[in-house]
Amino acid sequence: MVDYSEVFVGIDVAKARNAIAIADGGRGGEVRFLGEVDASEENMRRVVKRIAAKYSRVYFCYEAGPTGYGLHCVITSLGHSCIVVAPSLIPRRPGDQVKTNRRDAVALARLLRAGELTAVWVPDEGHEAMRDLVRARAAAVDTRNMAEYTNPRRLVSHVTITDPHHFLFGSRLPVLPGRSGRGPAYLVLELPDGRRRSVRIASTDFAQATSTTQFKATPNLPRISARMLIPLMQHLSASLDLLDEEVIRDGPSIASRSRCVSTPAEFGPASPTGRRAKRGVCGRTCRPRRKCRSLKSSLC
């Protein structure tokens, strides 16, 4: 019998412990299970060195999974061949329904010796660092979105009660995540005794800070009061009256370009309410001070 100096090692990886099986070279080589070892990097280095000391060529393989490519880097750094197998492409018998760490390790070693395993591409250090960066950014975005959804008050941590009529006046209380059942105008605060209470935003310094921020964002915005709007409305009303007089005096030429108005001299029949409708310049009967819907005028 020929003595083969190469072995094929199948590793069933897990988070805590790894199961290891060895298949001797050759078609009728023995396949045996070594056992389970701790999945730490130091123990795996020790096991790989112990196996490599007995044989001239050693080939390793394990399934791709959540453990990543750390074990692949450890084995390749020691100068041995290692492939990461695609789990969906591993040949399985239809009736083989039992799945244990020992059976998986033995099956990997036997299939590796037969050359029936399909390896996946293993990223290098640069690709792995970029993947970690993308995953970290995605996790940060998800955390921020979740925090904004659960706490819509822009991640406010504490507020102070500024309403002098409130029984918690002057207290600085933490803001709890979540929305108040009383509506968006309330914050959920944690009382000193640990209870939850909904407090109106207007009774806290959060409303003052928000109003101050909005005012600072637009410092040059003029303030318009109702007293300033009344003369403006009177001026607009007088301008409309002058426009009506010009339309009546100049005739249908201006009326065709402007809104249809009614002349005081032309009145139509009385309406059911008792008010008399006026006849517009365009010839159609319309209500006083209203636009006519005639198609003769572009603005009717």
One domain for residues 54 and 27: yes
Interior/surface letters 8-36, b for 16+ CB within 10 angstroms, e for the rest: bbbbbbeeebbbbbbbbbeeebebebbeb
Using N-to-C axis directions, what is the helix angle for 70-77 and 41-52, rounded to 10°? Answer: 40
Domain residues for the domain of 258 are 243-300
Residue 231, domain member (yes or no)? no
Residue 37 phi/psi, 5-degree rounding, is -125, 165
One domain for residues 206 and 270: no
Residue 237, domain member (yes or no)? no
C-alpha–C-alpha distance, residues 298 and 296, integer Å = 7
189: number of Cβ within 10 Å: 22
One domain for residues 90 and 129: no
Of 19, 2, 1, the C-alpha closest to 11 is 19
Report the percent of the chain where pLDDT is more than 70. Answer: 68
- Of 114, 135, 169, which closes a domain? 114
pLDDT at 248 over 90: no
Residue 17, domain member (yes or no)? yes
Structure tokens of 183?
């509506």
Residue 209 phi/psi, 5-degree rounding, is -65, -40
- Of 84, 114, 144, which closes a domain? 114
pLDDT at 82 over 90: yes
Model pLDDT, residue 17: 94
Radius of gyration of the chain (CA): 42
One domain for residues 145 and 165: no
Residue 247, domain member (yes or no)? yes
Residue type, 294: S
Half-sphere CA count of 18, side-chain side, radius 13 A: 23
Of 207, 143, 203, 197, the C-alpha closest to 174 is 197
Of 50, 76, 73, 61, the C-alpha closest to 113 is 61
Structure tokens of 295?
């198609």
**How do residues 84-113 score in pLDDT, each as one tens digit?**
999 999 998 888 888 899 999 999 999 999
Contact 188, 180 (CB under 8 A): yes
Residue 1, domain member (yes or no)? no
One domain for residues 138 and 43: no
Contact 100, 108 (CB under 8 A): no
- Of 114, 142, 170, which closes a domain? 114
Residue 287, domain member (yes or no)? yes
CA dihedral (105, 106, 110, 113) in degrees, to 10, reads 50
One domain for residues 171 and 146: no
One domain for residues 18 and 84: yes
C-alpha–C-alpha distance, residues 161 and 173, integer Å = 8
Of 132, 113, 112, the C-alpha closest to 123 is 132
Model pLDDT, residue 83: 95
**How do residues 166-216 score in pLDDT, each as one tens digit?**
888 888 888 887 777 787 778 888 888 888 888 888 888 876 654 444 434
C-alpha–C-alpha distance, residues 260 and 247, integer Å = 9
Residue 199, domain member (yes or no)? yes
Interior/surface letters 265-295, b for 16+ CB within 10 angstroms, e for the rest: eeeeeeeeeeeebbbbbbebbbeeeeebeee
One domain for residues 107 and 170: no
Which of 13-17, 137-141, 206-210, 248-252 has the lowest average pLDDT? 248-252
One domain for residues 11 and 91: yes
One domain for residues 66 and 48: yes
One domain for residues 14 and 109: yes
Residue 119, domain member (yes or no)? no
161, β-bridge pairs: 204
Q: In this structure, what DSSP letter does residue 23 have?
A: E
Total structural domains within the chain? 4
CATH of the domain at 80: 3.30.420.10
One domain for residues 207 and 143: no
Longest dimension (CA), the chain: 129
C-alpha–C-alpha distance, residues 224 and 221, integer Å = 10
Of the pLDDT bands very low, low, confident and very high (cuts 50, 70, 90), residue 261 is very low
70, β-bridge pairs: none
